[in-house]
C-alpha cells in the first residue's frame, strides 16, 4: 500500500522536477488512443452502413430459388412468412433490359426487378430505407424507377418509359420483348449505383415473358435470426428439399470477400499505428526512467531493495499510462459521439477554402466502436508500456547508485 502513494508522487507530484515529462507522455498516449478509436469508429460506420444497404436494398437477407412449379407464389409466400423470425417473404424476378427515351433517342442499360406490390406497401427493411416520390399515380403500382436512372434517360415530364429485353419466344427460345409502362414513382436509396441501374415493376407484368421458374423468394429476417441464419436455412430446406437457399453473403461473395479484405487491411493499418505507438511508448518510458534516475539512486543509497525500487517505478509508469489510456478513451468516445458535428464543421471550413462542400464530410455517419476493440487497444498499450518499463528499470538497476548519479 505504501508503494502506490510513492509512485503517485513520482508520477505527478508538484515537487517532482520531471512532472512535465509525465504530462507530455499522458498527452501523447491520450491523443494516440483518441486517434485510433476515432479511425475505428468511422471505418466501422462505413462498413456497417454498406453491409446494411447491400443486404436490404441490393438483395435480401436470404433468398430461396429453384422451387417446384406445382406450388403457387401465394402458397410459398404464406409458408415462408410463418417461419419464426421472418419479417416478410417477397417473390421477385429480374433481368437486364434497355430503357429507352424514344423522343430524345436516349437509351440506357439497366436492371428490371419484378416484385410484388407488397414489398412497398408493407413495413420492411427496404421500404424503411427508400425515399419514394409519387408521380401522380399513388394508387397504382406500375413502375418505380431510381431517380438517377430517371435523370440519365432524360425522361423529364414523360409519364411512360419504353423497355426492351429478351424473353421467352414461341418459335425460338429467346426473342426481343418490348413494354411501354407508366412511371408510378421514383425512389432514392443510399446506394447511388443501385439508383442509377435499377427499377421495379409489377412481377405479374413480366413473369410470363421471363419464366416463372426464375422467380426467387427474398426473405427479410429479424436481427436475432440473421445472426443464426444457418438454422433458418435448415428449416426451409426441410420444407422445400429441392430449393436452393443462399444468404446475402453467399450471393455477394466477391463483395463480401472485398469487404473482409478491407477490414483486414484496416487492422494491418492499425498494427502500423500500434507499432508507431509502441516506439513512442518506448521512447517515453526511456525518458521517464532517465528522469527518475536520481530518485532511483537515492532510494538505492538509502537501502531500498532493487525489487521495491522496481515496483515503485513500474507502478509510477502504469499510473501515467493508465491516465493517458483513460483520457484517450474518453476523448475517442466523445469524438465518436459527435462525429457528425465535427465533420459538419470541417465541411464548412472546407467550403470556405475551396468554395464547394466535400461529399465525404456530408455523409451521415452512425459511428460506433465495440468494447472488445477498445479493450484490445488498451491492453496492447498497457502491456507494451509495462514491458518497456520493466526491462528499462531492470537495466538501470544493474548499475550502482554512484554510477546512476554520474551524470547528475
Question: What is the residue-wise DSSP string for 116-139?
Answer: -THHHHS-SHHHHH-EEEE-S-TT
Residues 286 and 392 reside in one and the same domain: yes
Q: Are residues 244 and 261 in the same domain?
A: no
Do residue 41 and residue 86 come from a single domain?
A: no
Cα-to-chain-centroid distance, residue 214: 33
Angle at which helices 371-397 and 19-53 pack, to 10 degrees?
Answer: 150
- Kindly report the pTM of this predicted structure: 0.70
Question: Is 154 in the same domain as 191?
Answer: yes
Would you say residue 301 lies in a domain? yes
Considering its fold, how many domains does the chain have in total? Answer: 2
CB 15 within 8 A of CB 21: no
pLDDT band (50, 70, 90) for residue 288: low
pLDDT exceeds 70 at position 348 = yes
Residue 180 makes CB contacts below 8 A (sequence gap 6+) with: 160, 161, 162, 163
34: Cβ contacts below 8 Å, ≥ 6 apart: 328, 331, 332, 335
Are 96 and 153 contained in the same domain?
A: yes
Mean pLDDT computed over 234-246: 90
pLDDT score, position 300: 65
Q: What is the pLDDT of residue 218?
A: 93
pLDDT score of 160 more than 90 = no
Mean pLDDT, the chain, as a whole number? Answer: 81
Select from 210, 230, 248 the last residue of a domain.
248
Domain for residue 235, yes or no? yes
| Residue 343: pLDDT band with limits 50, 70, 90 | confident
pLDDT at residue 42 in the model? 82
Specify the pairing of strand 106-115 against strand 198-202. Answer: parallel
Domain shared by 76 and 225, yes or no: yes
Per-residue burial over 125-155, b if 16 or more Cβ lie within 10 Å, else e, is bbbebbeeeebeeeeebbbbbbbbbbebbeb
- Answer yes or no: is pLDDT of 102 > 80: yes
pLDDT value for 134: 80
Same-domain check for residues 263 and 289 = yes
Per residue in 355-393, pLDDT (tens digit) is 777 766 666 677 777 888 888 888 888 888 888 777 777
Judge contact between 332 and 36, C-beta under 8 A: yes
Task: Tell whether 25 and 128 lie within a shared domain.
Answer: no
Q: Does the residue 151 lie in any domain?
A: yes
For residues 44-53, give the mean pLDDT.
Answer: 81
The verdict on residue 226 lying in a domain is yes
65 and 44 both lie in a single domain: no
Same domain, 24 and 142: no
The rounded percent of the chain whose pLDDT value lies above 70 is 80
The parent domain of residue 345 ranges over 3-51+257-407
- 193 falls within a domain: yes
Q: Does 152 reside within a domain?
A: yes
* 285 and 183 assigned to the same domain: no
Whether residue 184 lies inside any domain: the answer is: yes
Same domain assignment for residues 28 and 151: no
Does a structural domain hold residue 43? yes
Mean local confidence (pLDDT), 155-183: 82
In the listed set 201, 226, 248, which residue is the last one of a domain according to the structure? 248
Q: Give mean pLDDT, residues 8-31.
A: 71
pLDDT for residue 55: 85
What share of the chain in percent tops pLDDT 90?
A: 13
| Closest to 384 (Cα-Cα) out of 268, 248, 303, 284 | 284
Amino acid at each position: 500500500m505504501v508503494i502506490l502513494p510513492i509512485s503517485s508522487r513520482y508520477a505527478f507530484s508538484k515537487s517532482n522536477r520531471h512532472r512535465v515529462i509525465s504530462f507530455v507522455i499522458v498527452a501523447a498516449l491520450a491523443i494516440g488512443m483518441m486517434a485510433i478509436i476515432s479511425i475505428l469508429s468511422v471505418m466501422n460506420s462505413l462498413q456497417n452502413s454498406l453491409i446494411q444497404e447491400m443486404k436490404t436494398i441490393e438483395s435480401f437477407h436470404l433468398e430461396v430459388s429453384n422451387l417446384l412449379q406445382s406450388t403457387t407464389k401465394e402458397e410459398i409466400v404464406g409458408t415462408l412468412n410463418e417461419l419464426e423470425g421472418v419479417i416478410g417473404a417477397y417473390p421477385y424476378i429480374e433481368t437486364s433490359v434497355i430503357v429507352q427515351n424514344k423522343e430524345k433517342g436516349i437509351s440506357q442499360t439497366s436492371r428490371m426487378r419484378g416484385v410484388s406490390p407488397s414489398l412497398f406497401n408493407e413495413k420492411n427493411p427496404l421500404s424503411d430505407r427508400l425515399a419514394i416520390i409519387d408521380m401522380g399515380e399513388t394508387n397504382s403500382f406500375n413502375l418505380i424507377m431510381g431517380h438517377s436512372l430517371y435523370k440519365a434517360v432524360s425522361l423529364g415530364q414523360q409519364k411512360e418509359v419504353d423497355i426492351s429485353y429478351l424473353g421467352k419466344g414461341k418459335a425460338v427460345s429467346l426473342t426481343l420483348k418490348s413494354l411501354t409502362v407508366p412511371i408510378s414513382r421514383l425512389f432514392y436509396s443510399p446506394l447511388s449505383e443501385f439508383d442509377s441501374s435499377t427499377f421495379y415493376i409489377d412481377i405479374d407484368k413480366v413473369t410470363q415473358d421471363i419464366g416463372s421458374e426464375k422467380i426467387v423468394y427474398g426473405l427479410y429476417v429479424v436481427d436475432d435470426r440473421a445472426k443464426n441464419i444457418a438454422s433458418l436455412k435448415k428449416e426451409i430446406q426441410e420444407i422445400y428439399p429441392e430449393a436452393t437457399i443462399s444468404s446475402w453473403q453467399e450471393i455477394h461473395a466477391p463483395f463480401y470477400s472485398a469487404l473482409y479484405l478491407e477490414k483486414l487491411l484496416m487492422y494491418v493499418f492499425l498494427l502500423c499505428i500500434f507499432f508507431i505507438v509502441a516506439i513512442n511508448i518506448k521512447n517515453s518510458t526511456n525518458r521517464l526512467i532517465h528522469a527518475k534516475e536520481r530518485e532511483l539512486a537515492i532510494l538505492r543509497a538509502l537501502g531500498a531493495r532493487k525489487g521495491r525500487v522496481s515496483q515503485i517505478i513500474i507502478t509510477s509508469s502504469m499510473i501515467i499510462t493508465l491516465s493517458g489510456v483513460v483520457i484517450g478513451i474518453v476523448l475517442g468516445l466523445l469524438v465518436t459521439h459527435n462525429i457528425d458535428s465535427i465533420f459538419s464543421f470541417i465541411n464548412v471550413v472546407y467550403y470556405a477554402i475551396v468554395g464547394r462542400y466535400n461529399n465525404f464530410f456530408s455523409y451521415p455517419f452512425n459511428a460506433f466502436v465495440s468494447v472488445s476493440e477498445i479493450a484490445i487497444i488498451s491492453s496492447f498499450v498497457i502491456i507494451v508500456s509495462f514491458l518497456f518499463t520493466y526491462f528499462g528499470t531492470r537495466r538501470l538497476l544493474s548499475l550502482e547508485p554512484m554510477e546512476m548519479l554520474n551524470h547528475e
